[in-house]
Amino acid sequence: LAWGIDPARLRVTGLPIRAEFTDPKFVDNMPAQSCLRRELGVDPRVRLALVLGGGDGVGNVRAVTRRLADALRGQPGCPPRGQLAVICGRNQTLQRQLTRQHWPVPVHVRGYVENMHAWMHAADCVVTKAGPGTIAEALACGRPLLLTGFIPGQEEGNVDFVVQHGAGAYCPAPPCAAETVTRWFAPDGCELEMLSAAARRLARPDATDAIVREVLTLL
């Protein structure tokens, strides 16, 4: 608009994502989520944080994972407050490093996966940098976002978008990220539920269909 483009020529639709991320059977459906966790080899009784580093496994994934694992350990003789799934993408070095480490809580390490939608539906929150695709997918799944970084310029506005709408938090320092997720995983789950509801309100699960409809009007 600042460059003088006619508003009538613009359509705001949201980012197109795969249909698997918008599957309604997982919305507010704990039995379906528990079944999915068992299929993925994850304990359905313990809250799950999904840690992502993008397709190439970049960023401070290792430091964030260590802090989260330490913060989520339970008291002696008690179950952990949470568990982690870390998707390393194509970063095989990171995958090997995390796999070889001893963790105080269950940490499920994976490389590049084709079923990211399953992991997001199985998780209670997503820890990631502020990439637009991941944000759109997490919101469609109704998952709160813990944003740990952004690419200056192109991703900075994504942080404000998520935080100002109450769908997550921005914590670039690993200790802050760990403290925030631990608070979200409190036994009452109240804050997590509010964040999840905000994420669902912010989502645009119909973006792909909206884009197709607009294109068809031009034919």
* Domain containing residue 56: 20-202
Q: How far apart are CA 75 and CA 168, in angstroms?
A: 27
| Residue 175 belongs to a domain | yes
Give me the pLDDT at residue 177, please.
Answer: 97
The mean pLDDT value for 78-102 works out to: 94
| Residue at 168: amino acid letter | G
How many CB atoms are closer than 10 A to CB 146?
Answer: 26
Say what percent of the chain tops pLDDT 90: 72
| Residue 82 belongs to a domain | yes
| Residue 35 belongs to a domain | yes
Give me the pLDDT at residue 58, please.
Answer: 67
Q: Mean pLDDT in the chain?
A: 92
| Residue 5 belongs to a domain | no
Look up the pTM and report it. 0.92
Confidence band, pLDDT 50/70/90 cuts, at residue 55: low
| Residue 190 belongs to a domain | yes
Q: How far apart are CA 77 and CA 65, in angstroms?
A: 23
84 close to 106: Cβ distance less than 8 angstroms: yes
| Residue 207 belongs to a domain | no
Window from 9-13, 106-110, 136-140 with minimum mean pLDDT:
9-13
Give the pair of three-digit tokens for residue 39: 């299929």
| Tens digits of residue pLDDT in 163-199 | 999 999 999 999 999 999 999 999 998 999 999 999 9
Q: How far apart are CA 209 and CA 216, in angstroms?
A: 11
| Residue 215 belongs to a domain | no
Give the total number of structural domains in the chain: 1
Higher pLDDT residue, 116 or 23?
Answer: 116
| Residue 155 belongs to a domain | yes
Tokens 């709160």, located at residue: 144
Nearest to 113 by CA among 130, 137, 97, 140: 137
Q: Looking at residue 162, which CATH number applies to its domain? A: 3.40.50.2000
Q: How many helices (H) and strands (E) does the chain have?
A: 9, 6
Confidence band, pLDDT 50/70/90 cuts, at residue 214: confident
| Strand, coil or helix: 109 | strand
In this predicted structure, the answer to whether residue 57 has a pLDDT above a threshold of 70 is no
